[in-house]
Amino acid sequence: MMNFVQAPLIKDRVRIKKVETLSDDWYVLKKTTFDLQRSDGTWQQQSRETYDRGNGATILLYNLERRSVVLTRQFRFPAFVNGHPGLLIETAAGLLDEASPEERIKAEVEEETGYRVEHVRMIFEAFMSPGSVTEKLYFFVAEYDSGSRVTAGGGNFVEGEDIEVLEFSIEDAMAAIELGEIADGKTIMLLQYAFIHVFSEKGRVVEAVC
C-alpha cells in the first residue's frame, strides 16, 4: 500500500507569526497568521481561524440478533440556523473534557441513552471539519442488549440536554440516510461501518471471534 503520510515534512514548512484570540467564551476561537512554504519552495503568508472545543468520541450500539442499533435525537442549534428542522438523529457522543476516549464514551453513552456497556471497540479516528474545527473524533462500536439498560438516559439536564433514545433496525437506519432523515456525519460513518463490517455475514464471523 502507498504511504501518503506527509506530516514529518510539512512541520518545517510552517512558521507561526501571530496568534490572536477572537473569542474565548464557551470554547476558543483563534486567528493565526503563519508563513507556509508552498510545494514549489516559495513562502506565502496566510491566516486561518480555528475553533477549538477539544476532542470528542462517539459510539454506535448494536445488537446482532435483533439487527438493531441505538441512536439519539436532540435539538442542534447550529444545524437549525443552517436550514435543518433542528432535531438531529445521532449516535451518542460527547466531548472528552480531558478524559480518555474510552472512559469518556462509556460515561457518555450511559448518560445519553441509559445503556451501560463494558466492552467498547475503537474502530477509527477522524477530523470532522478540518478546515476550521480542530476537533478529532474517536469512533467506537459496542454490543448491547435489553439487559444493558440501567436508566432512561436523556442527557444532562443542567447542560440543557433533552435527548430522546431511538432503536432502529439497521435496514431502517440505512434507509433513513438515503431519505435524508439521518443527516449527521459521524452517524452516517458509523452506520455504514456497521452495515459493512458488523451486520454482514463476514462481520458476524469477526464479531464472534472477538
Ligand X SMILES: Nc1nc2c(ncn2[C@@H]2O[C@H](COP(=O)(O)OP(=O)(O)O[C@H]3O[C@H](CO)[C@@H](O)[C@H](O)[C@@H]3O)[C@@H](O)[C@H]2O)c(=O)[nH]1
Told to check if 153 binds ligand X by CB under 6 A, we report: no
Closest separation between CB of residue 203 and ligand X, Å?
24
**Which uninterrupted H or E stretch holds 57?**
strand 56-63
Cα–Cα dist 57/25, whole Å? 22
Render the burial of 144-159: b for 16+ CB within 10 Å, e for the rest: beeebbeeebbbeeee
Told to check if 167 binds ligand X by CB under 6 A, we report: no
Candidate segments 34-42, 157-165, 172-180, 196-204, binder of ligand X by CB under 6 A: 157-165
Closest separation between CB of residue 43 and ligand X, Å?
34
Candidate segments 61-69, 140-148, 158-166, 197-205, binder of ligand X by CB under 6 A: 158-166
Told to check if 94 binds Mg ion by CB under 5 A, we report: yes
Going residue by residue from 24 to 53, which x/- string records binding to ligand X, judged by CB under 6 A?
Answer: --x---------------------------
Question: Interaction with ligand X in 7-26: which residues (CB under 6 A)?
Answer: 26
* Ligand-binding site membership of 171 (annotated): no
Which lies closer to ligand X via its Cβ, residue 189 or residue 194? 189
Half-sphere exposure of 156 (CA within 13 A, CB side): 8
Question: How many degrees, rounded to 5, is the angle at CA 49 between CA 27 and CA 45?
Answer: 150
Return the SS3 of 203: helix
* Ligand-binding site membership of 173 (annotated): no
Cα–Cα dist 201/210, whole Å? 15
Going residue by residue from 82 to 111, which x/- string records binding to ligand X, judged by CB under 6 A?
Answer: -----------xxx----------------
Which lies closer to ligand X via its Cβ, residue 4 or residue 26? 26
Candidate segments 34-42, 59-67, 91-99, 168-176, binder of Mg ion by CB under 5 A: 91-99
Q: What is the amino acid identity at position 74?
A: Q
Alpha helix (H) residue ranges in the chain: 7-10, 77-80, 101-113, 170-179, 185-193, 201-209
Compute CA distances 136 → 124, 155, 186, whole Å.
11, 22, 11
Told to check if 57 binds Mg ion by CB under 5 A, we report: no
Told to check if 101 binds Mg ion by CB under 5 A, we report: no
